[in-house]
Every structure is written in C-alpha cells, then in structure tokens.
Chain A
Amino acid sequence: MQYGGKIVIGLVIFVGLLLLPTVYDLGAGSAGYKQPKLQMPAPPNDKNCVEDTEWMRKNHMQLLNDWRDWVVRDGKTVYVNSHGEEFEISLQNTCMKCHNDKEQFCDKCHETAEVTPYCWDCHLAPKGAK
C-alpha cells in the first residue's frame, strides 16, 4: 500500500471521532443513563396540570409560546384545556403555583437536553434561579 501510513492515520482519526461520544460517556460515567426525575409538587388546589403530563412533556414550549402571544398580543387571559377546564393564562400565577422550583423542575430536563429557553430573560424565575 502506497502512502499507507497517512491513509491509516486518517482512518484512525475518523474512527476515533466516531467513537468519541462512547468514550466520553463511559468516561463521564453516563452508562445506564436515565431520564431525570422531576420534583412534582403537590398541587395547592384540586386542579391537575393544565394538560395531561404526556402532552405537556412534548408540547409545553409550544403552549407557553401560544400563551404569551394570546395574553400579550390578543388580550386573551383564559385558557380552556382539552377537558373543558378553565385556567388563567399566566406563567407566574398558574404554572409556577405548583412548579415552584426551577432547579428541581425546569432545569432537570433542559440541562440534559441542552435547551436554553429565554423565559427568564423577562420573567422572574421561581426559586432556584441563579
């Protein structure tokens, strides 16, 4: 093989880069990675979350974005959920009534999924904010 040394070095770099995540994870002790456990505070009233947990896991960012537009731009302040229940559209007064710990709730998933929402650029964060 001609220029075999250079070709093999190139292949070693290529395979090394592909295996890097595996080495990194095993080195960081992330084998057996599990979904973060969220602190679910008991709701102060009888009400459940505005929507079902499974739905919220996937769609909460969309809901928050819609809520902002409805309140700030359209002046609509009441949200009717899929079960027909009514909620006040407010991050501070509705969401954070129960989910009152950013570090133990929001950040848990956002950190592991590397999501950096800009909620707290304007909103006052619940306790646990930096």
Chain B
Amino acid sequence: MNAFYSLIFVFALVLIALFGVGAAHLSYFFGVILPLAAVIVFIVGIVLKVLGWGKSAVPFRIPTTGGQQQSLDWIKQNKWDNPSTASQTFIRMVFEVLFFRSLFRNTSVSLRNEDGVPVVAYSSAKWLWLFALMFHYSFLIIVLRHLRLFMDPVPFFVPVLDFMDGILQIGAPRLYMSDLLIVVGLSFLLLRRLVVPIFRYISNAADYFPLLLILGIALSGIYMRYFGKVDVIAIKELTMGLVTLSPKVPAGIDASFYVHIALVSTLLIYFPFSKLMHMGGVFLSPTRNMPNNTRIVHHENPWNPDVKPHSYEAYEDDFREHMIEAGLPVEKQA
C-alpha cells in the first residue's frame, strides 16, 4: 500500500502540473514561482539541516571498521578500512562517497537446514551496490548535462559529457546512455523493495516516494527528448531567466516541460526533509569520518563542564579557620 500511495501521489503531481498549465494557464507559477521557491527551500533547508546536525553531540570514536587497526610495527595495518590519521580517513571517505564502499561490503545472510542442523551462511551481495552506483552516476551526469540550459556560453565539460554519453550515435536526437541506465538503476531499487518480502516489510511511503518521483522526472525528461519533442531554445530562455533572476515565460513551451519542472521542484522541496539528505549526511557519518586513534589521542568529552582543579592545599587555605574552629585536623597551622 505504501508503494501504491506514493505512486498515486506522483501521478497527482503530474496531473496538477498538466491541468495547472493546460486548463488554468498557470504557466508563470509552474515555470517561475514554483522552481525558484523550490531552489530556496532546497538550499536553506539543507544548510539548516546540516547546521542542526553540526550542533548535536559528537560521539567518542567508533571503530566499527573492517580491517586491522594500527598496532605493533610488525602487524600490518589496513590503512583505508581502519585509518589512524586524517589523510587515511580522507581516503576512506573518498571511497565511501565516490564508490559506495560500505554498500560494496554488503552481505546477505541465509539460514538453511542440513540434516536437522541449522546452518547460517554469509555471502557477498553486490547487486544493490551495482545498481545504486549506476543510478547515482547517471543522475550526476544528467544534472551536469542540464547545465547547458543554465549557463551561456555553455561550459567546456558539457560537450565532453554530451559526446561520451551519446557516443553510440543511436537515432536523432542521440540516445544518452545515462537516460537508459538511470531508469534501469531506479527500476532495480524499486523492484528490490517490491519483490523481496523482507524489504517490502520495512519499506515505507518515504522509501517509495523518492524512487517513484525521480523515476517520474527521468521518464518525463526522456519523453520530452525522444518522444514528445519540445522547443529546447524556448526552454533555455525560460531556464536562463530563472538562473539570472530575470524570469520570463516565452511562448511555445509544451506542457510536458511543466510536468518535468513541477516534479523536479517537488524533489527539491522534499529533499531537505527526507532520507535524500544522505547526500549531506554521508559526509557526517561518524563511523566513516573519524580516524580510529583512540589509543593515540586523548579524547576529552567536549561538553564536559569546565572544572578547575582544586588541590587539598588550596581547599585547606580556603577553609582553614573554619576547620580549626570545628576542631578538624589541619596540615598547616594558621
């Protein structure tokens, strides 16, 4: 049902945009006001969220790592899985952010009976890693390619991406590999939750909705490029107006574009309040971004109150007269 509600909601968004532009002629709202508001919510929301995280307590180093920690000289340390210095930790973070190393180490557990004896087996499970990588990098390439609509003159890397992405030279306009791969990646991530009973049990609407929303964005973009055909130059006039803050809505823009931009705006608005914040959160993962140096560096709890040391001599200096008066022994007479 969670998946169903999410699907209905994405369909509703599409219909709202379609009717909003087609019947109610709200093209200025959907083309200018909604996207600009969405970008503001996106930026401010993410900044506030990350600052909020920054204010929370930082735990003691958590060495939940998959390798030999720094030890005696003759024991080889696994520097990238169990780093003890900042630069080694940086490399671990690079692997995490760029190559999803934690997902790569994913395992699956199976329990079976062998002659009445239960046997637990762990095996490597790389599918999630593979399709997650496929989806994220396709999305990145697609976002960077879109800069052609937001920058003029178009920066140097866009033609390079465009050439590599369309190198198969299939059809006109050329087929982008990233368009195919993002749909394949998203479909796997969605089917995984729908088909595997364990994942379906733990999946909420908040898990299905972003997948379906991004799938909707991808499919509406694919529709515009390969099937519906839109006036790209008119759209660039609109997007350039957005990015230079001198908005206008030129004539001749199809409804499919407004559906696309309404879904993208929804994604941007939804982003800071959802699981999608793992984009910022991955950099603040305490098990990944802290070196395992608890035996090398003294850790002081940062929110301890500032208590000055107070020796017995100083204590006696403070209270000597009262102590003598009360008949208590003192080391130094007044």
Contacts and interface: CB of A to CB of B under 8 A. Distances in A.
A73 interface: no
A62 interface: yes
A120 B51 CA distance: 53
Given A4-B54, A32-B246, A58 B230 contact: yes
Nearest to B146: A21
Contacts of B245: 22
Nearest to B283: A10
Interface stretch (A75-83, A87-95, A111-119, A122-130): A111-119
Contact of A114 (B51, B158, B240, B246): B158
B295 interface: no
What is the interface of chain B mostly: helix, strand, loop, or mixed?
helix
Given A11-B50, A61-B173, A21 B162 contact: no
A80 to B, nearest CB: 20
Nearest to A29: B152
B236 interface: yes
Given A25-B151, A31-B246, A54-B252, A112 B54 contact: no
A65 interface: yes
Contact of B51 (A7, A30, A36, A64): A7
B231 A34 contact: no
B72 to A, nearest CB: 31
Nearest to A1: B54
B243 interface: yes
Output the residue of A54, A61, A112 with the most chain B CB within 10 A: A112
A65 B231 contact: no
Contacts of B305: none
Nearest to B229: A58
A40 to B, nearest CB: 15
A14 B280 CA distance: 9
Nearest to A12: B47
Contacts of B149: 113
A36 B234 CA distance: 10
Contacts of A42: none
Interface residues of B, number: 47
Contacts of B297: none
Interface in B207-248: 229-234, 236-237, 240-241, 243-246
A15 interface: yes
A115 B158 CA distance: 10
A61 B178 CA distance: 20
B147 interface: yes
A64 B171 CA distance: 10
B243 A25 contact: yes
Contact of A65 (B147, B172, B234): B172
B11 interface: no
B237 A26 contact: no
Contacts of A30: 151-153, 240, 244
B125 interface: no
Output the residue of B39, B54, B234 with the most chain A CB within 10 A: B54
Interface in B51-97: 51, 53-55, 58
Contact of A58 (B152, B159, B231): B231
**10 closest residue pairs by CB, A with B:** A33-B240, A65-B172, A58-B229, A114-B154, A31-B244, A61-B172, A114-B148, A30-B152, A7-B54, A21-B150
Given A2-B302, A15-B43, A62-B229, 4 more contacts: A7-B284, A30-B153, A30-B244, A111-B153
Interface of A: 1-4, 7, 10-11, 14-15, 18, 21-22, 24-26, 28, 30-36, 54, 57-59, 61-62, 64-65, 109, 111-118
23 contacts: A1-B55, A3-B54, A7-B51, A11-B47, A11-B51, A22-B245, A25-B150, A25-B151, A25-B243, A30-B240, A30-B244, A32-B244, A34-B237, A35-B236, A57-B233, A58-B229, A61-B173, A64-B172, A65-B171, A109-B233, A112-B233, A113-B232, A116-B162
Interface of B: 39, 43, 46-47, 50-51, 53-55, 58, 147-155, 158-159, 162-163, 169, 171-173, 229-234, 236-237, 240-241, 243-246, 250, 252, 280, 283-284, 302
